[in-house]
């Protein structure tokens, strides 16, 4: 059973996928959003881009951050949450005219299932397949599924299946935005000693020494890592653990002052209250999927 988010009313979705603690509603900009509440946490997931908009364990401040200036417009990426960058990360490798970060984050995904797990968590499945529009940008047959599990831990699993008769190669990201109390008091652990590509410094390569701190515009691809990252947020006195699977690169991003002012869908002063720590397949971390095979890109987010 599947139902699209654009051509199906929220009433129809609620009737098709009737599950305790799950309600499909008309959200900001009229976008269809799944609102989830269970004994463990609350969350919101937009069908546009299969974008997780919110996650908060019971008794905790919101973990996922969305800009107050985000534009909730069909066909446009949401600024914040966990946008899905696929089938390429960043600029297209050979055609600058194609959209940055691919088409998955701006596509309308379909609801393919909603259920509860044995521990009382809630699982929402959203799907996206190839079409004339996707093949005009990326000429491959595929079936993608985003599985969002809301419980004590938020898990987002991007499953990409090759339904064609030839291998394809892709990159991507679960572009997670996290809310923090004060970016000046944030330390990101788990990347010490790693080589990284600094996109702000014209893609030069450096080695990380100690925890990552943010003192200016930051856009880095950390290489050769499948380790957890821990965001130590001194402002809100908490630690956010970002675990992952199917990823050998991690991206850390904060636009800082000037870049924030250049982004129309990002508040000028909001760089103080967010950081991106992203589970990625980026740079040389490219994934080749043979016909009939699949790749899982998974992030698991918890508060300590």
What confidence tens digit (pLDDT) does each residue in 40-98 have? 999 999 999 999 999 999 999 999 999 999 999 999 999 999 999 999 999 998 999 99
CB neighbourhood size of 115 (10 A): 12
The residues near 10 (Cβ < 8 Å, ≥ 6 apart) are 24, 25, 26, 32
Place of tokens 């309308």: 108
Domain 3-296, CATH number (from 3.30.70.890, 3.40.50.1000, 2.70.98.10, 3.30.930.10): 2.70.98.10
Output the pLDDT for position 219: 98
CA-atom Rg of the chain in angstroms: 18
Buried b (16+ CB within 10 A) or exposed e, 215-251: eebbbbbbbebebebbbbbeebebebbbbbebbbbbb
Of 7, 18, 87, whose CA–CA distance to 47 is shortest?
7
Which residue has 């905790």 as its token pair?
Answer: 60
Known catalytic residue: 40?
Answer: no
Q: Which of 42, 101, 145, 175 is catalytic?
A: 175
Q: Among the options 145, 278, 294, 296, which is catalytic? A: 278
pLDDT of 207 reads 98
Cis peptide before 114 (omega within 30 of 0): no
Q: Which pLDDT tens digits describe the chain residue by residue (304 residues)?
A: 455 444 579 999 999 999 999 999 999 999 999 999 999 999 999 999 999 999 999 999 999 999 999 999 999 999 999 999 999 999 998 999 999 999 999 999 999 999 999 999 999 999 999 999 999 999 999 999 999 999 999 999 999 999 999 999 999 999 999 999 999 999 999 999 999 999 999 999 999 999 999 999 999 999 999 999 999 999 999 999 999 999 999 999 999 999 999 999 999 999 999 999 999 999 999 999 999 999 999 999 999 9
State the greatest distance between any 2 C-alpha atoms of the chain, in Å, as a whole number.
53
The pLDDT of residue 3? 52
Active site residue 270: no
Q: Which long-range contacts (CB under 8 A, 24 or more apart) does 133-138 make?
A: 133/103, 134/103, 134/107, 137/98, 137/99, 137/102, 137/103, 138/87, 138/88, 138/102, 138/103
What does DSSP say about strands 195-198 and 186-189: parallel, antiparallel, or unpaired?
unpaired
pLDDT number for residue 8 = 76
pLDDT attached to residue 7: 58
User: Which phi and psi (to 5°) does residue 219 adopt?
Assistant: -150, 95
Q: What residue spans define the domains of the chain?
A: 3-296
């Amino acid at each position: 059973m599947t139902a699209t988010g654009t051509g199906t009313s929220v009433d129809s979705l609620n009737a098709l996928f009737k599950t305790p603690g799950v309600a499909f509603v008309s959200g900001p900009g009229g976008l269809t959003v799944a609102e989830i509440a269970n004994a463990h946490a609350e969350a919101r997931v937009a069908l546009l881009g299969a974008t997780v908009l919110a996650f908060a364990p019971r008794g905790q401040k919101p973990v996922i951050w969305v800009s107050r200036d985000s534009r909730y417009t069909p066909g446009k990426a949401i600024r914040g949450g966990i946008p899905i960058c696929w089938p390429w990360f960043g600029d297209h490798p050979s055609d600058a005219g194609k959209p940055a970060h691919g088409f998955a984050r701006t596509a309308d995904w379909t609801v393919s299932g909603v259920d509860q797990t044995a521990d009382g968590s809630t699982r929402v499945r959203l799907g996206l397949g190839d079409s004339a529009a996707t093949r005009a940008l990326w000429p491959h047959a595929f079936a993608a599924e985003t599985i969002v599990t809301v419980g004590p831990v938020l898990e987002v699993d991007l499953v990409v299946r090759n339904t064609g008769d030839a291998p394809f190669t892709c990159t991507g990201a679960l572009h997670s935005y996290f809310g923090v109390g004060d970016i000046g008091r944030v330390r990101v652990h788990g990347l010490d000693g790693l080589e990284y590509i600094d996109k702000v410094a014209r893609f030069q390569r450096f080695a990380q020494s100690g925890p990552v701190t943010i003192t200016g515009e930051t856009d880095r691809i950390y290489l050769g890592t499948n380790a957890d990252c821990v965001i130590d947020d001194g402002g809100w006195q908490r630690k956010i653990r970002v675990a992952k699977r199917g990823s050998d690169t991690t991206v850390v991003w904060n636009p800082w002052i000037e870049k924030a002012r250049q982004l129309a869908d990002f508040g000028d002063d909001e760089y103080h209250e967010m950081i991106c720590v992203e589970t990625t397949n980026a740079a040389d971390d490219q994934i080749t999927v043979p016909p009939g095979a699949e790749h899982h890109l998974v992030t698991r987010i918890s508060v300590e």
